[in-house]
Amino acid sequence: MPRFRLDIEYDGSLFAGWQHQADQPSVQQAIEQAIEKFCGEAVRLRAAGRTDAGVHATAQVAHVDLAKAWPDDKVRDAVNAHLQAAGAHVVILKATVVSDDFDARFSATGRHYLYRILNRRAPSALEKGKVWWVPKRLDADAMHEAAKILLGRHDFTTFRSTQCQANSPVRTLERLDVSRQGDMIEVRASARSFLHNQVRSMVGSLKRVGDGSWSVGDLKAALEARDRAACGQVAPPDGLFLIGVDYPDTLTIQG
């Protein structure tokens, strides 16, 4: 039974998140239904990250086992045809046969997120739902300097959703960069894994540094408090994108 890696792009605005929901549309369900229409198999996908409602992806990764060794391009094109027919804002960028020990979630060695803040007085006519609009001027340099406080291995309880199911709040944050390109502020975060709502929680707290309501010391105190109540505003899902997942070279295309 061949295993296929699926590289996926989606607009999360119309979904209740990646994972199956009892009475709301999910990205996972949309793809599984498209696969069943293509090959007649009821399947269950496993993804690298279970993105929340409203969160987008340019490089989500999932895997699925199919009974037949379909050509890679056939899987991609057929599943996309059914997704488009259903009006789902989801695209399979690539389908690749991989080794049986490839697991989209557990084999991942790194995950990369981008958060976009539109920082100008006027809202966006073209990117609504794809950015967090903040009309008050933010100091991106101050946000970047403050972000260094969060780098490394820490107990991130403050920046963890109360619904987070991870066994431990300790994570190692490898990258947290803030930069400005014109009216757009980009926050890039990388780690082996993240806690539920961690990126959005960190961005919301960094925004408080950017607007002057918090100092670097305030952010450090929030981290050290290990208390969810010490977190700043949780940034909305609109501006968050899963933009990359890393895997060992030994778990790539099956030859």
Q: How far apart are CA 221 and CA 22, in angstroms?
A: 39
Exactly one of 52, 77, 103, 141 is catalytic; which is it?
A: 52
Task: Tell me the one-letter amino acid at 234.
Answer: V
Contacts of 114 (CB under 8 A, 6+ apart): 186, 187, 188, 240, 241, 243
218 part of the active site:
no
Task: Give 212-216 contacts, CB < 8 A, sequence gap 24+.
Answer: 212/139, 214/146, 216/142, 216/145, 216/146, 216/149
Q: What is the DSSP string of 93-158?
A: EEEEEE-TT--TTTT--EEEEEEEEE-SSS--SS-TTTSEE--S---HHHHHHHHGGG-EEEE-GG
Q: What span, in angstroms and rounded, lies between the C-alpha atoms of 31 and 37?
A: 10
Q: Which residues are catalytic?
A: 52
